């Protein structure tokens, strides 16, 4: 499997979830075992020797690959969820995104000062969700934050909203 084959397997959905949005549907890449395996192997290879202690996945598509990568590098998995989905005490951040506003939460005790964290989501567009996730994870007081995406839409320049001390890794790039 090559990166070009994986890119070709990702379909475009016009006007989803609202008119004017060209949605990159990764489910077509996830359903092919070779493509899924390639994405998993690439992510594990990138992070395996970086001392990562937790992979934080953003609801919901960040949950698809993050737990497997955590297992692959010997780290734990922590979910970031929408309000009311986590059962214990949480901290939250509200933010604006491409087509509305949202809030995300993490368990207050999910991370600690010694953690080296990768925050993972499926796709980087304008960066609003990930910027909020970085703020949320910083509130938890971790040692170091990395962020990762399976796909980055380069033309939207989403990575420009992230702090300069946070390394951004995207597996696949589209213009």
Q: How does 61-84 read in b/e, with b if 16+ C-beta sit within 10 Å?
A: bbbbbbbbbbebbebbbbbbbeee
Q: Which of 31, 37, 61, 167 is catalytic?
A: 61
The pairing of strands 54-58 and 76-80 is parallel
Give the DSSP H/E element, type plus range, for residue 169.
strand 167-174
Alpha helices in the chain (DSSP H): 3-9, 27-30, 33-47, 62-73, 128-139
Cα–Cα distance, 142 to 91 (Å, whole number): 14
Which residues 6+ apart lie within 8 Å of 20 measured at CB?
Answer: none
135 is catalytic: no
Q: Which of 5, 31, 98, 105 is catalytic?
A: 98
98 is catalytic: yes
| Catalytic residue positions, numbered | 61, 98
């Amino acid at each position: 499997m090559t990166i070009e084959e994986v890119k070709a397997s990702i379909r475009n959905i016009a006007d989803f979830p609202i008119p004017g949005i060209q949605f990159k549907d990764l489910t077509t890449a996830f359903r092919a075992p070779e493509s899924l395996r390639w994405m998993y192997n690439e992510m594990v290879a990138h992070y395996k020797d970086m001392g990562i202690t937790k992979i934080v996945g953003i609801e919901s598509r960040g949950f698809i690959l993050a737990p497997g990568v955590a297992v692959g590098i010997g780290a734990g998995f922590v979910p970031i969820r929408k309000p009311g989905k986590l059962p214990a005490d949480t901290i939250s951040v509200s933010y604006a995104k491409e087509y509305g506003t949202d809030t995300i939460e993490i368990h207050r005790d999910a991370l600690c000062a010694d953690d080296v964290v990768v925050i993972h989501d499926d796709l980087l567009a304008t960066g609003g969700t990930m910027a909020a996730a970085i703020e949320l994870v910083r509130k938890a007081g971790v040692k170091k934050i990395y962020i990762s995406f399976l796909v980055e839409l380069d033309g939207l320049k989403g990575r420009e909203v992230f702090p300069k001390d946070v390394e951004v890794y995207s597996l696949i790039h589209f213009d």
